[in-house]
Copies of this chain bind each other. A is one copy, B any other.
Amino acid sequence: MSYRLAFIGFGVVGQGFATLLRDKKEFLMAKFGLDYKVTAISDPVKGSVYQEEGFDLSKVLALVEESGNLDGYDKGVKGWDSLKTVNESNADVIVEVSPTNIENGEPGISHIRAALGKKKHVITTNKGPVALFYRELSELARKNNVAFMFEGTVLSGTPAINLALSTLAGADVQDIKGIMNGTTNYMLTKMAEGQSYDAVLAEAQKLGYAETKPDADVKGWDAQAKIVILANVVMGGDLKPNHVPTKGITEITLDDIAQAKKNGKKYRLIGHAWKESGVVRAEVSPALVGADDFLYHVSGVTNALTFATDALNKVTIVGPGAGKIETGFSLLTDFLSFHGAR
């Protein structure tokens, strides 16, 4: 089977996925009979190229690395905006990796609606549209008989959504709990070593873990979007982000952490979804965990999720929650999954 891919957005995650597509081409063909070419990239900053025969990915990646944009690409049609690229390119798979917006999901939601309406598969790492419009979008995908997959919206490439939907398919997931934001876990880990909030935030920003405007991480909004996605997709909930009581780590002081340590505890920012009289509820909040809790031992930017199920008791997955190649890998997992590989 051969696919044509269009990238909507070409930031870190898009480039990570493009790198995997370049480096694993022979492996994916030999192992899964998966063939593909990338025929369009549209990014508001880096520019836009459509080349219906498919790009030389090495050239594209080198160009973006060197010049920061696609202007120097010597073939194809330039200047199509994202919606024109979705609607008029020959791509049958839309890789939606535009910036996340958890207020209204734009511009991702418009890209995804257009793509599914045109019977194009969508794979995305964009949390906003999934957290806000999962039911509408999954129904639209079903009606148009195409895939809508988003493993990378939670825990980057660490299997979380596909783990629950495929390998735990026969189980009733009753509770999901875990560390789903790497930046704050890194900060809490470093604060437990005695560094101040401001110092670790500055360090996290320097390392590229935290944004210049760190609110989405430190106020818990990123974790909020992720627990909403898990609650709705895995547990059948119907939550909106603003339904979810959310508290970040901004009020935790070094004194709090020292006190916790004295009691053998650590702070972790926990996303939690559970069923209460058949209704799915969720919250995000810092919690004190003891050494008997697995999450106590999950440090730095690592993420972890525990699924409590009827048939299997607790299953925990631990792995990277961020990274260029790691998050790009989630798109490869989705791509392989609807291709039917295993």
A14 to chain B, nearest CB (A): 15
Look across to chain B and name the residue whose beta carbon is closest to the beta carbon of A328: B311
Chain B residues with CB below 8 A from A326, complex form = 311-313
Contact indicator A333/B170 (Cβ below 8 Å): yes
A257 to chain B, nearest CB (A): 19
Contact indicator A167/B333 (Cβ below 8 Å): yes
Contact indicator B171/A167 (Cβ below 8 Å): no
Which of B159, B297, B329 is the one whose CB lies under 8 Å from A163?
A: B159
Interface string of A101-141 (1 = CB under 8 A from B): 00000000000000000000000000000000000000000
Contact indicator B320/A317 (Cβ below 8 Å): no
Is A183 positioned at the interface, with any CB of B under 8 Å from its CB? Answer: no
Which of B157, B166, B169, B316 is the one whose CB lies under 8 Å from A311?
A: B157
Contact indicator B318/A315 (Cβ below 8 Å): yes
Contact indicator A342/B312 (Cβ below 8 Å): no
Look across to chain B and name the residue whose beta carbon is closest to the beta carbon of A155: B315
Number of A residues with CB within 8 Å of any CB on chain B? 44
Chain B residues with CB below 8 A from A32, complex form = 169
Chain B residues with CB below 8 A from A341, complex form = 166, 169-170
Within 8 A of B (CB), among A297-342: 297, 311-320, 323, 325-326, 328-329, 332-333, 335-337, 341-342
A20 to chain B, nearest CB (A): 6
Which of B165, B172, B336 is the one whose CB lies under 8 Å from A342?
A: B165
13 A-B pairs besides A312-B329, A317-B317 with CB distance below 8 A are: A20-B170, A28-B170, A162-B342, A167-B167, A170-B341, A291-B297, A294-B297, A312-B325, A312-B326, A313-B319, A313-B320, A315-B317, A315-B319
A residues whose Cβ falls under 8 Å from a Cβ of B: 20, 24, 27-28, 32, 151, 157-159, 162-163, 165-172, 291, 294, 297, 311-320, 323, 325-326, 328-329, 332-333, 335-337, 341-342
Top 7 closest A-B pairs, CB basis? Answer: A159-B167, A315-B319, A170-B332, A316-B318, A311-B329, A162-B167, A166-B342
